[in-house]
Amino acid sequence: MNNNYVQIQITTDNQEESERLTTLFITSHLVASVQSIPKITSTYIWNGKINKKKEYLLLLHTMEHHIDEIYALLRDEHSYVVPEYIVLPIIQGSADYLNWIKYNVTNQKPEDEE
């Protein structure tokens, strides 16, 4: 298993779906945390028209080996036809925080406790 950490960006258009997806990701142990940023403004082209609306941005913290499972869950559970799903590498972070992510998504003890 690789130890590559990632942050995944997902948007949704309402608080209920934001909370439901957050609960699904957390209870599945696929992510260590989800940060929800409410009421961002998204401007985009859909069906040839410019759209602008308020959305919730979810930032998921996990490890690379979970990204396919997260995407499959997202496709099954998200209300959008084409949900935003962007995976960004975490190039650097505090060792304590990264160990915490690893522990929560793999159930392995953090390195300083081994």
What's the mean pLDDT when you consider all of the chain?
Answer: 93
What is the per-residue pLDDT for 64?
A: 96
Name the band, by pLDDT with cuts 50, 70 and 90, for residue 3.
confident
What one-character-per-residue DSSP string does the chain give? Answer: ----EEEEEEEESSHHHHHHHHHHHHHTTS-SEEEEEEEEEEEEEETTEEEEEEEEEEEEEEEGGGHHHHHHHHHHH-SSSS---EEEE-----HHHHHHHHHHHH-PPPGGG-
Provide the CATH number for the domain formed by 12-108 in this structure.
3.30.70.120
Domain boundaries, the chain: 12-108
- Give the predicted TM-score (pTM) of the model: 0.90
What is the per-residue pLDDT for 114?
A: 47
